[in-house]
A = this chain, B = another copy of it.
Amino acid sequence: MPPRTHLPVNTESVDDYLKAILELSGPPGERATSNALAGHLGVRAASVTGMLQKLAAQKPSYVKYEKHHGVRLTPAGKMRALEVLRHHRLLERFLHDCLGYSWDEVHDDAERLEHFISERLEDRIAAKLGDPQTDPHGHPIPERNGALPARPEVLLSKWACGVKAVISSVSDRDPSALREMERLGLKPGVAITVEAGTRNATLLVRIGERTEPLRLSQRLAAGISVIAANRRSRQHRKIDY
C-alpha cells in the first residue's frame, strides 16, 4: 500500500534526513533506526517513519527502507549526503579562514547555509581555500566525487594510558566545550597522552610539550578523537566511505 501522501520533492528536510542516516549508520553501511534518527533530528519517531516511506518511494530512491528494520542509503543517497556534508565542512572552513569566525561559531551558520550552496559556489569556495582537507574541527571534507579519507579515529576516553596520540578531531556540536578546548590548547594536530584513566569521570592527560598533566572532564574528553601519533602522516589516505 502506498504512503498516505504523495512523493516528497528534494527539500532541506530530505538533506537533513540523509545526512543523519549517513552519520548514524556506521561506515560499512549498517542500518539506522527510526528512533536514533528521531533523536538526532529532533523530531518524533512517527515523523521519521513517514519521511522514510516517502523517501523510499521516490525513484530513483535515496534510501532502502525495510519496515521495522531501519534504513540504509542507496549509492545515490550516500552521494547526496556526502555532498551536503561537503558543503557543511567547506562552509565551516570558509567562515573560519576567510571571515574570522572562531571555531565555536561556525557550526550554526554552516548548518543553515549548507542546503543552499550551488555547485558554482561550492567550487569557488573550495578554490579560494585551496581545496582544504579538513574543517576547523579536524573532520575530513568529502571530495566532490564523494571520496572521504578514512582515519582510524578513537575517542580519547577509549585510548590506552601511556600511548602517545595526536588529536585528530573534536566535536563541533557544543560551542562552550569548544571554547574551553581552545583555552586548553586542545586542537587537531596536538599531541596528547593519557596519564591515568577514569577517576570521578575525569581523565588525567598530558597535552603537547607541557610538563604538568591536566584533569579533563568527561564532557570534554567525549568530544575529542585521537589517532596514534605515528600514524599522523597517513591521515590523508582516501577511501570510499
Contacts and interface: CB of A to CB of B under 8 A. Distances in A.
Contacts of A125: 99
A127 B99 CA distance: 9
B105 A112 contact: no
Interface string A97-108: 011110001001
A131 interface: no
A118 B124 contact: no
A67 interface: no
Interface residues on A, range: 10 to 19
Interface string A101-144: 10001001100110010101100110110000000000000000
A116 B113 contact: yes
Contacts of A95: 121, 124
B121 A109 contact: yes
A128 B109 contact: no
A108 B118 contact: yes
Interface string A24-67: 00000000000000000000000000000000000000000000
